[in-house]
Amino acid sequence: MNLGKLLLLLLIGYVIVTWIGIGHTIFNIKVLHMKSMKESPGMGEGYEKTKPWHPLYNIIIFSILGCVYVSGLETPTLAVALIAGAIWAIICIVVDLIGWVLIKHPWRLTFKEFYVDYQPWITLIYIAIFLGPVIGYLIVR
């Protein structure tokens, strides 16, 4: 297991899916003329309409990065892919809790908003992140 490469790919994936989500929200507001968070309750219509797409962004991006990770291993195994997926999912759960719930900022969500109201999307996102290296393993082997 190459922990440094695993963590770097996680960071790259996290940044990519975050920027895709932001870009999708901006597109909805500017091009499709959906309401922003200033014009509607919560995070705004422009963001709310992106939620069903979040698991899709994650399964695509993290599966690609899973392929990159697994293909770089001397001996790829399903066990290593499962461990890598678990590491990615656990780190994302902790980072999300800190970054989206605990730290105060304009887009901060309450625990309920993030972990209850964001269902089933947040659970599907974490499953997608976990499966990224596993799908990568299945493609590469």
Residue among 70, 46, 44 nearest 132 (CA): 70
> How does pLDDT run across 31-74, given as a tens digit for each residue?
888 887 677 666 788 888 889 999 999 999 999 999 999 999 99
**Which has more confidence, 124 or 44?**
124
For the entire predicted model, the pTM comes to 0.90
Torsion of CA 69, 83, 89, 120, to 10 degrees: 110
> How does pLDDT run across 81-90, given as a tens digit for each residue?
999 999 999 9
Nearest-Å Rg of the Cα atoms of the chain is: 16
- CA dist., res. 111 & res. 68, Å (int): 34
- CA dist., res. 23 & res. 50, Å (int): 10
